[in-house]
Amino acid sequence: MPIATPRQYAAMLDAAQAGGYAYAGINVSSIVTLNGALKGFADKKSDGIVQLSTGAGEFVSGLNVKDMVLGTIVLAEAAHKLAAKYDVLIALHTDHCQPKKVDTFLRPLIAETARRRAAGLSNLFQSHMLDASELPLAENMKLSKDLLKECAKNEIILEVEAGVVGGEEDGIDHSDQPREKLYTSPDDMLSVYDALNGLGRYMFAATFGNVHGHYKPGAVKLRPDILKQGQQAVIAKHGKDAEFDLVFHGGSGTPVEEIRETLGYGVVKMNIDTDTQYAFTRAVADHIFKNYAGVLKIDGEIGDKKQYDPRSYLKAAEKGVAERLGQACDALLSSGKTLCGKL
């Protein structure tokens, strides 16, 4: 069915919050990874969220163009066409956008959705992320308020972040941040609620020691209780309806038991990128290593066209992405819970 409408997306998030599960937010950067994401969600009968970053948009537009907005629109429109062939609900989302790129990335995409709506078409994107965590919280919230108002006019959900996700992803490097920055305090969570309440629907990426990338066991010290404490503080002051829709960044490599713990504290979306990137590349490497003489023209030989045809290993890569995403759906308890046909 087509990409989720704003009403359907809101219902997806409500169902996850009420049902104690979450959606994988998988980053894609090509038709192959997009197809892998759609296959992964469909195979698990799970609704889900497909994400594009500024870097992915630039990559999609090609080496000679390098236009992050153009590439993002091209792949998003492809997603609208391809998702219509699947019996799950898919939402489109943009990942980390820093303040310096708001006017050159987020606002043009919001304007594109506004243009589509004026023409009687559906939203291009259902949600966007503003990552203003590099700013002092007051400045972060000022920018978040302005963008949330713009998004709300077009039934777009805004994801905001307070606190810093460690590590490096897609050119955003927070690996040198002091440890205390990796944990969002209950006071900060109250400040986010007080600033944004009533302006429109939003998701909140509160940080609890999570990092981008993949690390050996024990290297990352997650504290999911941070989320619990923050939710309790907000609910105690403002009531049950104030509960945040939380986002878990840096989900790759996280043990299942820690993922499941966050679901009880209001996480409705978990980002996965590093693990699916590896699943893609592992499948390509397997193909090349197993078919080395056919992939390469060695010692004057002619190779094997069937083996160096990019489709031969990109099919395997698509399958690898889908299988790893399926594991995430199982861990997040979204498998078998699609709302497709029920709304």
The full set of domains in the chain, from first to last, is 6-332 (3.20.20.70)
Residues forming the active site: 95
Instruction: Write out the two tokens for 141.
Output: 């919230």
Collapse the DSSP code of 290 into the 3-class scheme (helix H, G, I; strand E, B; otherwise coil) and give the result. Answer: helix
Range 93-112 average pLDDT: 98
- Reduced to 3 states (helix: H, G, I; strand: E, B; else coil), residue 245 is coil
pLDDT digits (tens, 9 = 90+) for 298-342: 999 999 999 999 999 999 999 999 999 999 999 999 999 999 999
- DSSP code of 101? G
Task: Work out the end-to-end distance of the chain between its first and last CA atoms, rounded to an integer number of angstroms.
Answer: 12
State yes or no: pLDDT of 166 exceeds 50: no
Nearest to 44 by CA among 342, 317, 343, 328: 328
Kindly tell me if the per-residue pLDDT of 241 is higher than 90: yes
Q: What is the mean pLDDT of residues 260-288?
A: 97
Q: What is the pLDDT of residues 170-184, one digit of tens each?
A: 554 444 444 555 689
Look at residues 246, 177, 175 and name the one whose alpha carbon lies nearest to residue 213: 175
pLDDT at 183: 86
Residues 6+ apart with CB under 8 A from 120: none
| CB neighbour list of residue 119: distance below 8 Å, 6 or more residues apart | none
Pair 2, 83: CB distance under 8 Å: yes
pLDDT bucket at 212, cuts 50 / 70 / 90? low
Return d(Cα 234, Cα 243) in angstroms, integer. 7
SS3 93: strand
Reduce the DSSP state of residue 166 to 3 states and report it: strand
Q: Quick one: tokens of 254?
A: 């996280």
Is the pTM higher than 0.85? The answer reads yes
pLDDT of 142 strictly over 50: yes
